Chain A
Amino acid sequence: KAGVTQTPRYLIKTRGQQVTLSCSPISGHRSVSWYQQTPGQGLQFLFEYFSETQRNKGNFPGRFSGRQFSNSRSEMNVSTLELGDSALYLCASSDDYRTSSYEQYFGPGTRLTVT
């Protein structure tokens, strides 16, 4: 099976711009979660999508949004970028927690730098 893919891998944006990151989960996985990793805050949960519905959301401002498509691919969008949004954004793919394969597998991440 192919692993979780994230595009782009690296991104440099300017303050005030917006950005869209993409995540393609493992084939058959219906849950996609997003995490932000920074040196200061560590790994923080952004949101989770399951079958095109947001199932859970972390404590991030409304500038952070996401969506999931019918093929389970997910995108996250950050509008009006701030310097503090510079981070590694990780996407995790999983089958539903009620199944036997509930391990979560992460993609390689998108490293976003805001200047």
Chain B
Amino acid sequence: AQKITQTQPGMFVQEKEAVTLDCTYDTSDQSYGLFWYKQPSSGEMIFLIYQGSYDEQNATEGRYSLNFQKARKSANLVISASQLGDSAMYFCAMREAPGGGATNKLIFGTGTLLAVQP
């Protein structure tokens, strides 16, 4: 069964430092997609970054980068130059595509609560 594991329930980081949020996944599919979302206390889920299983380059979006290690089945999120506004819950998710089938269903990890300290 497909599964996402986030082993860090909470993390602290100093403002302006970089932080890595861990995510490992389990799937037997060859085609899948990996997502990171940020959820502030307001509740909305903000899309941060996407990595496809066939993408050779690690995805980057501004201060966010995804460290994709396919053989290790890990998709860690790296946030550079942390800001106070980065304090939020962060979710790693995987889009199922069994046999390349049609679906946008996402499986989520349990999340990591990041606190950025001044």
Interface pair A48/B104, CB less than 8 Å apart = yes
- Report whether A108 and B42 are in contact in the complex, using a CB–CB cutoff of 8 Å: yes
Q: How far is the CB of B6 from chain A (nearest CB, A)?
A: 10
Residue from B33, B44, B106 in contact with A109 in the complex, judged by beta carbons closer than 8 Å: B44
Question: Which B residues are in CB contact (< 8 Å) with A104?
Answer: 35, 47, 95, 104, 106
Bitwise, A10-46 to B at CB < 8 A (1) or not (0) is 0000000000000000000001010100000011010
Number of contact residues on B: which range applies? 20 to 34
Chain A min CB distance to B23 (Å): 14
A108 to B45 CA separation, bound complex (whole angstroms): 7
B97 interface residue (CB < 8 Å to A): yes
B105 interface neighbour in A48, A106, A108, A109, Cβ under 8 Å: A48
A28 to chain B minimum Cβ distance, whole angstroms, is 15
Name the residue of chain A whose CB is nearest to the CB of B42.
A108
Complex interface: chain A residues within 8 A of B35 (CB): 103-104
Q: Give the contact stretch, choosing among A62-70, A71-79, A87-95.
A: A87-95
CB <8 Å contact, B104 and A106: no
B74 within 8 A of A: no
Give every chain A residue within 8 A of B68 (Cβ-Cβ): none
A42:B104 contact, CB within 8 angstroms: no
Bound-state CA distance A48–B35 (Å) is 17
Q: Contact check, A106 vs B97: say whether CB atoms are below 8 A apart.
A: no
- The complex places the Cα of A102 from the Cα of B37 at a distance, in Å, of 14
A residues within 8 Å of B by Cβ? 31, 33, 35, 42-43, 45, 48, 50, 55-56, 58, 88, 90, 92, 94, 96-98, 102-109, 111
